[in-house]
A = this chain, B = another copy of it.
Amino acid sequence: MDIRERILQAAARVYAQHGFRGATTRLIAIEAGVNEVSLFRTFGSKAALFEAMMQSHSASLPVPELPERPVDPQAELIPWCSLLLAHMRQWRSIIRKSFGELEERPEAAVVMCEGPNCAALALTAYVTRLQAAGLADETADVSTAVSMFISSMFGDAVGRDVLPPDAFPQPVEDAPAKYVNVFLRAVGALGVGDVVPLRAAQTADDRRAVAQ
């Protein structure tokens, strides 16, 4: 790995831990295992380094896909939700810092929104397909329900490891299933009185993300 990439990755790690002001060029250089001077020779300034870091990280957004022809909403959404949560949890530290510094460095907003926004579009389209197939209520406020669902995923991913446990009554492993079930009820895709089995869909990624 070349020096530029090493510095970029080190910067991301240090930034996630300390934020912009706390991520000193000295710390980043040590973390990257390079000389501090090399950092300035490569990027010119700390601000330029962070701009490059944000751009390089916006490339990676592998949001999971939802089936074109929905059959079993629960079975299809729960794993999707698990993956989404795991994906968001990967970036939770960076997201928290960037969010707090959005007023000073607004360029982080686009990077931060890409993932959730993408997920929201996919989910909205999916529910529209559910409606077309007669599997969801046509009168439901899909846009609002999706927005609330994404907010909840965001909140869980970003808050669970730093907030007191009573802020998230659902245990991690049950959370995706519970979130999905509530969402499906909200869009009328789960009849009132339906048996709502708890399908825990915890992936290996999930466990790893939580454990770290």
Contacts and interface: CB of A to CB of B under 8 A. Distances in A.
Contacts of A145: 182, 185
Nearest to A162: B102
Contact of A148 (B149, B167, B196): B149
Contacts of A97: 100
A2 to B, nearest CB: 30
A41 interface: no
A100 B196 contact: no
A141 B186 contact: no
A19 interface: yes
B103 A17 contact: yes
Interface stretch (A4-12, A67-75, A110-118, A199-207): A110-118
Contact of A193 (B104, B137, B185): B137
Contact of A196 (B18, B141, B147, B156): B141
Instruction: Count chain B CB atoms within 10 A of each CB in A96, A155, A168 and give the residue with the most.
Output: A155
Interface in A29-70: none
B169 A143 contact: yes
Interface of A: 17-19, 21-22, 93, 96-104, 106, 109-110, 112-113, 116-117, 137, 139-141, 143-145, 147-149, 151-152, 154-156, 158-159, 162-164, 166-170, 178-179, 181-183, 185-188, 192-193, 196
15 contacts: A22-B104, A99-B159, A106-B162, A117-B166, A139-B192, A141-B196, A143-B170, A144-B170, A144-B182, A148-B183, A151-B151, A151-B154, A185-B185, A185-B187, A186-B186
